[in-house]
A = this chain, B = another copy of it.
Amino acid sequence: MRARFEPVATEGAARTGRVRTAHGIFDTPCFMPVGTRGAVKHLSSVDLSELGAQVVLANTYHLMLRPGAETVAALGGLHGFTGFDGHLLTDSGGFQIFSLDPKVDDDGAVFTSTYDGGEHRLTPESAVDTQALIGADIQMVLDVCSALPATTSTLATAVDRTADWAVRARRHFLDHLDAPRRQSLFGIAQGGTDIELRKRSAEATVATGFDGYAIGGLSVGEGRDDMLPAITACTDIFPADQPRYFMGLGDPVGIVESVARGVDMFDCVLPTRLARHGTLLTSGGRVNLRRAEYAADDEPLDAGFPASPANRWSKGYLRHLLQVGEPTAARICTLHNVAWLLDLMARTRTAIAAGTFADLRADVHRIWS
């Protein structure tokens, strides 16, 4: 089903509104916590609802291998499996597979399972089938991801193959039982930081026609000066009445700069991974709670963010738990970082609606640049 973007307000290219899918609506711009194997590490679906997460990600590569897409389907699909009743999105597994040095040809990719060394094949069609079984609200097409930096010719090959696969995926999806009624399928533009290739990829993706549009293959180590024009090259072409998703971005400056260019949706493992290592996103910037200076600090973790679910504990207590490896620390820090980032998105939505997004953007730069 075509996901519609319903605008509430704009400020320049930045926009806030709602995305409507077969499952319901969610507010944008939004951050989607990543539950790779069917759970955000240390959190349950109850926690995610209490944190106010409206969309959660899961990973097709991991779920197809463990416990298997059929098992997820037998256990109620991803909603029944995880117990999360908000929106769910599965990536296609392309990003993971292309990090495993797969054998790629025009038909698809053959890769080796990181679980048991077994050989598996993924094609644009089987990625659709697998994601139909998993049953998230939003599927992503199988794309070809190039590590950056890459030569123009490598990027061009990836863009063209992504476009071919997109046509096949879309056709297969539309022929698919009731998936098109229950699910949306998003296309992905590639092209690295090459503006002409980005435009070509975005145009081809839009020409094929998808339920929403994503920017893939960025935020992989390239500088922001290279990344931002590549975003604009895509968002200038993506239809205004459909959602736009920047895959794999979660840093505050990257988010506000992408929002300023008209992106609606974000995901990243960074906030939860940082949390497990004791690095917090706070109103004053990054805090590495493992530092000795916090050993006897009886202040709450982020006094500037009173709604943090972690604020009833002191920095000293949480540092102690981190130092001795207590999993409670990883949990509390994860709750905080996810809450903080969801709050940044809520403040972004409010700011755009109030016409003060430029101020918020400047604030984020002041603290995080």
Contacts and interface: CB of A to CB of B under 8 A. Distances in A.
B328 A43 contact: yes
A321 B38 contact: yes
A312 B66 contact: no
A75 B44 contact: no
Contacts of A76: 298, 314
Interface in A57-75: 62, 66-67, 71, 74-75
A328 B295 contact: no
Contacts of A316: 67, 71, 74-75, 81
Interface in A23-69: 37-46, 62, 66-67
Given A76-B298, A76-B314, A317-B81, A327 B42 contact: yes
A40 B323 CA distance: 15
Nearest to A312: B83
Contact of A39 (B45, B67, B314, B321): B321
Given A71-B320, A75-B296, A296-B74, A81 B314 contact: yes
Contacts of A207: none
Contact of A37 (B37, B66, B324, B331): B324
Contacts of A71: 295-296, 316, 320
Given A74-B296, A317-B75, A320-B66, A328 B83 contact: no
A19 interface: no
A218 interface: no
B327 A327 contact: yes
A321 B37 contact: yes
A13 B45 CA distance: 45
B331 A66 contact: no
How many chain copies?
2
19 contacts: A37-B320, A37-B324, A38-B317, A38-B320, A38-B321, A39-B326, A39-B328, A42-B42, A42-B327, A44-B328, A62-B324, A71-B295, A71-B316, A71-B320, A74-B316, A75-B296, A75-B314, A81-B316, A331-B331
A-B pairs, 9 with minimum CB distance:
A39-B328, A67-B320, A75-B316, A39-B326, A37-B324, A42-B327, A74-B296, A83-B312, A66-B324
Given A38-B321, A62-B324, A76-B314, 17 more contacts: A39-B326, A40-B328, A41-B326, A42-B328, A44-B313, A44-B328, A44-B331, A44-B332, A45-B312, A67-B319, A74-B296, A74-B316, A75-B296, A80-B314, A81-B320, A83-B313, A327-B331
Interface of A: 37-46, 62, 66-67, 71, 74-76, 80-83, 295-296, 298, 312-314, 316-317, 319-321, 323-324, 326-332
